[in-house]
Amino acid sequence: MGVPQNGIFAFGTSAHGYFELDLAPGAVAAEVVAAVADHLLSETSMQAVNLVAGFRPELWATVAPGRMPAEVTGFTEPVVGPDGFTLPATQHDIGVWISGPAPDAVFDGGVEIVTALAGKAVLVAETMGWSYHRDYDLTGFIDGTENPKQSEAPSRVLVAPGEPGAGGSVLLLQQWAHETADWMSLGVPDQEAVIGRTKADSVELDDRPATSHAARTDQDEYGTILRRNTAYGTVLDHGTMFVGFSATRATLHAMLRSMAGLDGPRDALTRYTRPLTGAYYFVPSVDDLGAVATADR
């Protein structure tokens, strides 16, 4: 198996930054991808941050044919449910997730990647995130309960050995705004019915509603997703950055269609959170990045 980008599985960080870039006018795709690869491969453990870099699937396929799973495409069309609920498509060319021990380290890492790509790519969206009580999201529930064990995660969410793009992963990056006042108006039993789990210890309800978040995103039905979500924002404007890795785009997109109510009831959690963005990025293995990097990095 190709060596994956280690930041995918780097747990324990409290500060996060999400940076999305588009190619600059006139930029040569291969040169931009090489610049990203050079920067990522030059990072050392002494710099105290973890970088994960992904590309719009069509961009990576153009630059590195044969190193890309055939079924992976960008988030080019919104997912619209029967009642009009919409998960927007806001695809960009490059997605970078930086995690570290503190906001200043993440900020510096963001400045460095933008500087490295000056003249080649333009920063068009950035969000700074942070861990909320380690394993919780802003609903007050534990997040990522169904994540695979760390020892099993690589074999579950990376492209399999021998396949094009082996060691890579598909990243779904979304920003979700929370309707906190509405959420906080619910009592704990009603919140638990929305999530489908107990609030105190994240045990799945025996009688979870079909509309619950746990039911609409059940990994036994839709496949394995490694969630690395964080909180973002301020008291006035906040929510969740959904950071989901899977071996296939199909797993991630089936989950979104389920949440929107296209193969059953709409996910009740979407009554209290609003998706603002949506993009798929293919996160190549370190080996495949090395194949497109410049020789004199």
Question: Catalytic positions, please?
Answer: 143
In whole angstroms, what is the distance from residue 283 CA to residue 60 CA?
9
The identity of residue 265, as a single letter, is: P
* DSSP structure string for the chain: -PPPPGGGG-----EEEEEEEEEPTT--HHHHHHHHHHHHHH--GGG--EEEEEE-HHHHHHHSTTSS-TT-----S-EE-TTS-EE-----SEEEEEEESSHHHHHHHHHHHHHHTTTTEEEEEEEEEE-BTTTB-TTSSBS-TTPPPTTTHHHHHSPPTTSTTTT-EEEEEEEEEE-HHHHHTS-HHHHHHHHTB-TTT-PBPTT--TTSHHHHT-HHHH---EE--EEEE-SSSEEEEEEEEES-HHHHHHHHHHHHTSSSSPPGGGGTEEE---EEEEE--HHHHHHHS-TT-
